[in-house]
Amino acid sequence: MTRAVQSHMTKAGWGRIVNLSSTAAVGNRGQVNYSAAKAGLQGFTKTLAVELGRFRITANAIARGFIETDMTAATAERLGMTFEDFKATAAQQIPVGRTGTPADVAHTVSFLVSEGAQVSCPARCSTSPADGRPERAVPGDIASRRPPSRRRARPRWWVLSGSGQ
**Residue from 14, 34, 55, 83 carrying the catalytic annotation:** 34
DSSP state of 67: B
- Contact between 63 and 23 under an 8 Å Cβ cutoff? The reply is yes
- Contact between 17 and 48 under an 8 Å Cβ cutoff? The reply is yes
Left, alpha or beta for 95 (phi > 0: left; psi -120 to 50: alpha)? alpha
User: Between the CA of residue 95 and those of 3, 61, 138, 154, what are the distances in Å?
Assistant: 38, 22, 21, 34
Q: Is 34 a catalytic residue?
A: yes
CA distance 39 to 27: 9
Residues classed as catalytic: 34
